[in-house]
Chain A
Amino acid sequence: MDSTTVKASETSTTSAPQGFDMVMYRIKKHFTRVDPYLTIIGIFLWLFAYWVLCEGLKIWRFDKLPGPVAISKDWFSTTPFQGISIFTQEYYDHIVVSCRRILIAFGLATSLGVPLGLFMGWSRSIRDFVFPIIELLRPIPILAWVPLSILLLPGFEGPVIFLATLASFFVTTLNAMLGVDSIDEEYFRAAGCLGSSRWDVFVNVVVPGALPFIFTGLQISIGVAWFSLVAAEMVSGDLGLGYLIVDAYMNNVTVPMVIAMITLGFIGYFSSACVRAVGNKLMEWHVKELNQQGR
């Protein structure tokens, strides 16, 4: 037996790794590429630059900001100097309140915006009826709605949720509508040929065909929801991460301010990832199609 036949028989007997081995294989494979190292180096470079500006060299104006060392000291301390750390109940109260508001606002905006957008894309008359008004209201900056929402809705909760819902609703609706527009005419023709009723077309062509656009829209819309939520909490709020930032600033404690900002970053990242994961789960066909194209 020469060497080539030995090799061939070896490869044919090795089967694909299973379970835990597969996970280990994937991790190993991941770290043979250059991109994870670039990511790690990138993070350290940014942190280092931040440290140099604020703590290392104490550049003019930057010396007023808490640096990475000061922040992590307080953030992970059981007795934080400036009042907020992962061991204080208050920190979690703010997070929970903000997250709850986002869940309500994003849920409302999605459950109203997606159907409305789909119907607008599907039916000419619904679009003619609704689209001009939406297009007129959409460009109004969300902060311009603040006084009106405070006048309109009682308490702290109402206005804040209203503003976040509104911002995210416009994005979701528009993307759902454009999603229907993006569907190739031939799918409608094929569905017609195959004997579909108008409702069959809606369920089997309009909804799945618009899904990629809808989920692109939802990822933007959850970001917009966070943005307007924090803005609203800063103006009118009693709790929440946005309120924490303003409150810390007013009381001249800068560390909780930055902690709240970083926390917002992490939660925002996590919420987008969740939306993406749900989207990929619902659009298996789309994921596989992209994989096939090597993307």
Chain B
Amino acid sequence: MVKNTAKAAKKGAISIKNVTKVYDPGGVNVMAVDNCSMEIAGGEVCMIVGPSGCGKTTLLNAIAGFHSITEGSIEVDGELLCGPTKPKAEQGADRMVVFQHGALFPWKTLQENVAYGPTVQKAMSSGEAMDKAGQMLAEAGLGSFIKKFPGEVSSGMARRAEIVRALINNPKVLLLDEPYRAMDALTKQIMHESLLETYDRTGVTIFFITHDLEEAIFLGDKVHIVTTRPCQLKKTVEVNIPRPRSYETQSSEEFRKLLDEVNEAVHEEAVKAFKAGERELA
């Protein structure tokens, strides 16, 4: 198996063009995403920040192929995923999702979970896949837990294993939907370091949704701040802090400045979202 190196790092450019998504629950049209465009370069860590319920997950679901879009198009490496003629993208192992609540199969051990993808895609025999899975889990520091079920390990370990399960398929894009939301600050730190280490090693494109602004700046190359529903791109903040980044980065002057900038933009949207919520409930 070839490891993703600098050459492969160019892969996985996502181009979101004028995407609109209208839900219609109970006959009332709700616009979740309105004419949203975004360009994500291959091998970039792209962080999406915005108020709750603003349509970030809708965007992720469209890229992953869980939901259709109403208008616009999404391309990966110039290949059309979904567009006017094909509203729903097909699900595929080139775009791997890591879920908010964790979706390791609880009835399979960590090793079986990781080996699952290559086995069903018939990319490897099940024996090979199990060996490779064991090896990759060991690299992620989970070597002594490969025979454990997800219910037996901590949430941090499960999340790391889930990322390994995604990476074994050599995806172009990793889609993460608030994967560290329910974690305590200490576990989060370790998760960040582990993700950055993985990124430095594989150079996979990362599309990461979060509410945590420090997380966004610490991990990202770019932070896209989106507006409250309907979701549009409000502002893009470039993070030029060199990699590899360590935890001390977070106390630097530059980091603080970026944080203020992002905070200001997000706060404005959060206030809008809150008022809109009050109106809706009134």
Whether A279 is near chain B, meaning CB under 8 Å from some CB there, is no
Whether B133 is near chain A, meaning CB under 8 Å from some CB there, is no
- Contact in complex: A204, B103 (CB < 8 Å): no
- Contact in complex: A193, B149 (CB < 8 Å): no
- Contact in complex: A204, B105 (CB < 8 Å): yes
Assuming the contacts A194-B93, A285-B149, A285-B151, asked whether A189 and B103 have C-beta atoms less than 8 A apart, the reply is: yes
- Contact in complex: A284, B99 (CB < 8 Å): no
**Which residues on the B side are within 8 Å of A237 (C-beta)?**
none
- Contact in complex: A190, B105 (CB < 8 Å): yes
Interface residues of A in 210-240 (CB under 8 A from B): 211
- Contact in complex: B106, A289 (CB < 8 Å): yes
- Contact in complex: A292, B93 (CB < 8 Å): no
Whether A195 is near chain B, meaning CB under 8 Å from some CB there, is yes
Q: What's the minimum C-beta distance from A203 to chain B, rounded to whole angstroms?
A: 10
Q: What's the minimum C-beta distance from B226 to chain A, rounded to whole angstroms?
A: 22
**Which residues on the A side are within 8 Å of B43 (C-beta)?**
none
Report the bound CA distance from A24 to B251 in whole Å.
Answer: 58
- Contact in complex: A194, B120 (CB < 8 Å): yes
- Contact in complex: A193, B93 (CB < 8 Å): yes
- Contact in complex: B121, A195 (CB < 8 Å): yes
Whether A146 is near chain B, meaning CB under 8 Å from some CB there, is no
- Contact in complex: B64, A193 (CB < 8 Å): yes
**Which residues on the B side are within 8 Å of A209 (C-beta)?**
107
Whether B101 is near chain A, meaning CB under 8 Å from some CB there, is yes
Interface residues of B in 179-228 (CB under 8 A from A): none
- Contact in complex: B105, A196 (CB < 8 Å): no
In-complex Cβ contact of B169 among A184, A195, A204, A205 (8 A) = A195
In-complex Cβ contact of B107 among A190, A193, A285 (8 A) = A285
Whether A208 is near chain B, meaning CB under 8 Å from some CB there, is yes
In-complex Cβ contact of B120 among A184, A197, A284 (8 A) = A197
Assuming the contacts A200-B120, A204-B116, A288-B149, asked whether A193 and B97 have C-beta atoms less than 8 A apart, the reply is: yes
Whether B95 is near chain A, meaning CB under 8 Å from some CB there, is yes
Q: Mark A271-295, 1 if CB is under 8 A from B, else 0.
A: 0000000000001111011001000
- Contact in complex: A193, B151 (CB < 8 Å): no
**Which residues on the B side are within 8 Å of A270 (C-beta)?**
none
- Contact in complex: B152, A292 (CB < 8 Å): yes
- Contact in complex: A190, B97 (CB < 8 Å): yes
Report the bound CA distance from A193 to B91 in whole Å.
Answer: 5
**Which residues on the A side are within 8 Å of B51 (C-beta)?**
none
With CB as the reference atom, state the residue of chain A lying closest to B64: A193
In-complex Cβ contact of A289 among B95, B108, B151 (8 A) = B151
Report the bound CA distance from A200 to B108 in whole Å.
Answer: 14
- Contact in complex: B120, A195 (CB < 8 Å): yes
**Which residues on the A side are within 8 Å of B64 (C-beta)?**
189, 193
Whether B96 is near chain A, meaning CB under 8 Å from some CB there, is yes
Q: Mark A254-284, 1 if CB is under 8 A from B, else 0.
A: 0000000000000000000000000000011
Whether B66 is near chain A, meaning CB under 8 Å from some CB there, is yes
With CB as the reference atom, state the residue of chain A lying closest to B107: A208
- Contact in complex: A186, B151 (CB < 8 Å): no
Report the bound CA distance from A186 to B96 in whole Å.
Answer: 13
Q: What's the minimum C-beta distance from B149 to chain A, rounded to whole angstroms?
A: 4
**Which residues on the B side are within 8 Å of A190 (C-beta)?**
97, 99, 103-105
Report the bound CA distance from A56 to B71 in whole Å.
Answer: 85
Report the bound CA distance from A194 to B117 in whole Å.
Answer: 5
Q: What's the minimum C-beta distance from B96 to chain A, rounded to whole angstroms?
A: 6
Q: What's the minimum C-beta distance from B152 to chain A, rounded to whole angstroms?
A: 5
**Which residues on the B side are within 8 Å of A211 (C-beta)?**
107
**Which residues on the B side are within 8 Å of A205 (C-beta)?**
105
Whether B78 is near chain A, meaning CB under 8 Å from some CB there, is no
Q: What's the minimum C-beta distance from A64 to chain B, rounded to whole angstroms?
A: 54
Report the bound CA distance from A208 to B150 in whole Å.
Answer: 14
**Which residues on the B side are within 8 Å of A193 (C-beta)?**
64, 91-93, 95-97
In-complex Cβ contact of B99 among A186, A192, A196, A200 (8 A) = A186
- Contact in complex: B152, A288 (CB < 8 Å): yes
Report the bound CA distance from A205 to B103 in whole Å.
Answer: 11
Report the bound CA distance from A186 to B121 in whole Å.
Answer: 19
In-complex Cβ contact of A285 among B91, B106, B165 (8 A) = B106
**Which residues on the B side are within 8 Å of A197 (C-beta)?**
120
Q: Mark A37-59, 1 if CB is under 8 A from B, else 0.
A: 00000000000000000000000
- Contact in complex: A189, B105 (CB < 8 Å): no
Q: What's the minimum C-beta distance from A216 to chain B, rounded to whole angstroms?
A: 16
Assuming the contacts A189-B97, A285-B151, A288-B149, asked whether A194 and B116 have C-beta atoms less than 8 A apart, the reply is: yes
In-complex Cβ contact of A195 among B93, B101, B152 (8 A) = B93
Known: A190-B105, A192-B65, A208-B105. 15 other contacts (CB 8 A): A186-B99, A189-B64, A190-B97, A191-B105, A194-B93, A194-B169, A195-B92, A204-B105, A204-B108, A208-B108, A284-B149, A285-B151, A286-B151, A288-B149, A289-B151
Residues of B whose CB lies within 8 Å of any CB of A are: 64-66, 91-93, 95-97, 99, 101, 103-108, 116-117, 120-121, 149, 151-152, 165, 169
* CB-based closest 5 A-B pairs: A289-B151, A208-B107, A194-B117, A190-B103, A195-B121
9 A–B contacts from the bound complex (CB under 8 Å):
A190-B104, A192-B65, A193-B96, A194-B116, A194-B120, A196-B120, A285-B149, A286-B107, A286-B151
